Amino acid sequence: MKSKQAFKYKCILFGICFLLFANAIYAHTINYALEKAPAGNVFLYYLRLGYMHILPNGFDHILFVTGLCLLSKKISVILWQATAFTIAHSITLALSMKNIIVAPSAVVEPIIALSILFVAVENLLITKLSAWRILIVFMFGLIHGMGFASALNEIGLPRNKFFLSIFSFNVGVELGQVTVILATFALFIIPFRNIKNYKKAVVYPLSILIASIAFYWTIERVFFV
């Protein structure tokens, strides 16, 4: 008798878990227009969406990536930071779209502004990057991923092409970030990296500008949004 009751409770528990899991899978907004579209169309649509979320629409993400570039003259160092950022935001983007983690934009957006401010101020205070910068970038990437999810949820994802659309959106975001990195190197680092006062001429003024904008965004997003 007890074994039957135990089996019954296990079935109930399994049913509850199944419902919760199913709810997590389909919690994101559904893009019904693309549910029956060919996979190639879905890939290109979200690829373009991800790229445009950085360029031209993601001014805060542009400043964050630009800030990461300024302190090092080696593109390999920047790519390590970009990789950590990519891995982190990919994790939270997918989890947020599955509704496994949920963070309101009123919390996420000020932290994104603070992450930009942190990187800019760090550029002013330190002379050489250390390994712990990778960890900091990874942690901020987790927050930025939630910001990406908030924007993506407004468009929605096709229910039967969840992973394809998430993957292509991420690829678009990465292409946008690589564009920003290449532009930063072409405009600010390569032309000036060999001058004697590189930090005073390039890093300090640009970091102060980025920090000022990020500070304004932080105040605005905490108190006025």
What digits encode the pLDDT tens for the residues 16-72? 343 333 333 334 578 777 877 888 899 999 999 999 999 999 999 999 999 999 988
| Predicted confidence (pLDDT) per residue in 143-192, tens digit | 999 999 988 888 888 888 889 999 999 999 999 999 999 999 999 999 99
Contact by Cβ (8 Å): 120, 210: yes
Does the predicted TM-score (pTM) go above 0.75? yes
- Smallest Cα–Cα separation from 175: which of 100, 86, 71? 86
Q: 131 or 62, which is more confident?
A: 62
29 torsion bin: left (phi>0), alpha (psi -120 to 50), beta (else): beta
Helices and strands per DSSP (H, E), number in the chain: 9, 0
Q: In this structure, what DSSP letter does residue 111 have? A: H
| Residue 64: Cβ within 10 Å count | 27
Q: Which residues contact 81 (CB under 8 A, 6 or more apart)?
A: 68, 133, 134, 137
Q: In this structure, what DSSP letter does residue 30 have? A: B
